[in-house]
C-alpha cells in the first residue's frame, strides 16, 4: 500500500480526503508523519511496515487537527512528537472532559465508526526552538508557522528533496485560515507562504496533507496558487481557482470558501479596519 516518492520516503493516501501519511526510513526503523485516518488503514500500514522489518521508531503530527493526530495500537509505542504549541493545543482539547466528544463531532458521520480515538493526540511537544525531529534517520527540519492551525509544522527532508507540507499547498483544498487563534490570519498565511518559498523552494517533491503529491514543477506553482487565493480572499474578489470552481475535487470546498469570506468580513466590521 506504500508508494515511494523519494529515496527512503514512502507515502500512503487515505480514502478520507486524500490524506497523506509519510514514512521516512531511518537506521533502525521509520519515522511516521500523520499516520492516517481509518483504523483499518493504519493497521494495514502497521502490517506492511512489520513485513518490511521496519518498526516505527518515532511519530510526528504536523498540526493539532483530529485527522493529523490519530494513531493505532499496532503501530507500537514509539514517541510521538509535534511542536510545543501543537502538543499544548491537543492537550487543552483532551483535558476538557467533553473534549473527545467535541472532536468526535468534527468527524464526518459516515466514517466516525472507522476512526479510533483512543490514542488521539497523545503527543510530546518538542522544546520551542527545536529545529529538527530527534530521531536516528535523515535530518528532518521543522519550520513552525502560524498558518492554518496553532503550532503547524512544515517538515523539510533536505537530503531527500522532500517537503511535507501538512495542510498547505494542496491541489484539492484551498488555504484554510486559522480564524480562531490569530490576530491577522491573512498576513500570517502570506508570511508563511514567503517563509516556505525561501526555505523549501529548491525541494523537488511536495507532499501535502491532503491531495496529490507534486513534483518540482508544482513547488512554486502551488505557492503561487495559494497566494493568489489568499489575496482574493483579502480583497473579497472572486478567486479564479480550480479548487472552488466547477471542477473542484470536493463539492464542499466552495461552501468553506464562502464561510471564510463571511467570517473575515465580520472580523473587519468588528475591528473597523479593512481586511
Ligand atoms: Zn488541518
Q: What is the pLDDT of residue 272?
A: 67
Geometric angle at alpha carbon 207, from 35 and 259, rounded to 5°: 85
Q: What is the pLDDT of residue 273?
A: 60
Note residues around ion ligand 1 (Cβ under 5 angstroms).
Answer: 65, 167
Grid cell digits, residue 111: 466514517
* 209 CA to centre of ligand 1 in angstroms: 8
Tens-digit pLDDT profile for residues 68-104? 999 999 999 999 999 999 999 999 999 999 999 999 9
Over residues 209-219, the pLDDT tens digits come to 999 999 999 98
Task: In whole angstroms, give the CA distance from residue 181 to residue 248.
Answer: 28
148 Cα–ligand 1 center, Å: 7
Residue 271 pLDDT greater than 80, yes or no: no
Q: How far is CA 14 from CA 162, 170, 234, in A?
A: 19, 15, 32
Expressed in angstroms and rounded, the spacing between residue 227 Cα and the centre of ligand 1 is 18
Q: How confident is the model at residue 15 (pLDDT cuts 50, 70, 90)?
A: confident
Q: Phi first, then psi: give them for residue 35, nearest 5 degrees.
A: -60, -25
Coil, strand or helix at 164 = strand
Residue 53 CA to ligand 1 center (angstroms) comes to: 31
8 Å CB contact between 56 and 43: no
Lowest-confidence segment of 157-161, 184-188, 269-273 by average pLDDT = 269-273
Cα 27 to ligand 1 centre (Å): 30
What pLDDT shows up at residue 46?
A: 97
**82 CA → ligand 1 middle, Å:** 14
The answer on pLDDT for 274 being more than 60 is no
Distance 125 CA to ligand 1 centre (A): 18
- Reported pTM: 0.95
Mean pLDDT for 165-189 is 94
CA of 34 to the centre of ligand 1 (A): 11
Which three-class secondary structure state does DSSP give residue 220?
helix
Q: How far is the CA of 19 from the centre of ligand 1 (A)?
A: 10
Write the burial class of residue 63 (CB in 10 Å: 0-12 exposed, 13-18 middle, 19+ buried). buried
pLDDT for residue 129:
85
Amino acid at each position: 500500500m506504500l508508494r515511494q516518492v523519494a529515496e527512503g520516503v514512502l507515502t500512503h493516501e487515505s480514502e478520507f480526503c486524500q490524506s497523506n501519511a509519510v514514512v521516512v526510513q531511518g537506521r533502525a526503523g521509520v519515522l511516521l508523519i500523520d499516520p492516517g485516518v481509518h483504523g483499518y488503514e493504519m493497521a494495514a500500514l502497521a502490517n506492511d511496515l512489520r513485513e518490511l522489518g521496519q518498526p516505527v521508531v518515532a511519530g510526528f503530527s504536523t498540526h493539532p487537527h483530529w485527522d493529523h493526530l490519530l494513531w493505532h495500537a499496532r503501530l507500537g509505542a514509539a514517541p510521538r512528537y509535534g511542536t510545543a504549541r501543537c502538543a499544548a493545543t491537543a492537550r487543552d482539547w483532551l483535558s476538557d472532559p467533553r473534549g473527545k466528544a467535541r472532536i468526535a463531532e468534527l468527524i464526518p458521520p459516515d466514517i466516525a465508526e472507522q476512526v479510533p480515538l483512543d490514542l488521539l493526540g497523545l503527543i510530546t511537544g518538542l522544546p520551542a526552538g527545536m529545529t529538527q525531529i530527534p530521531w536516528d534517520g535523515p535530518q528532518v527540519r521543522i519550520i513552525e508557522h502560524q498558518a492554518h492551525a496553532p503550532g503547524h509544522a512544515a517538515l523539510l527532508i533536505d537530503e531527500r528533496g522532500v517537503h511535507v507540507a501538512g495542510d498547505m499547498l494542496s491541489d484539492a483544498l484551498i488555504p484554510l485560515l486559522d480564524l480562531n487563534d490569530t490576530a491577522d490570519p491573512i498576513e500570517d498565511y502570506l508570511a508563511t507562504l514567503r517563509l516556505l518559498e525561501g526555505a523549501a523552494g529548491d525541494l523537488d517533491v511536495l507532499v501535502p496533507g491532503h491531495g496529490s503529491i507534486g513534483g518540482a514543477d508544482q513547488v512554486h506553482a502551488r505557492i503561487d496558487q495559494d497566494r493568489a487565493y489568499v489575496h482574493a480572499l483579502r480583497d473579497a474578489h472572486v478567486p479564479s481557482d480550480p479548487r472552488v470552481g466547477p471542477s473542484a475535487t470536493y463539492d464542499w470546498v466552495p461552501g468553506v470558501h464562502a464561510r471564510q469570506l463571511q467570517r473575515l468580513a465580520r472580523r473587519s466590521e468588528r475591528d473597523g479596519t479593512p481586511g
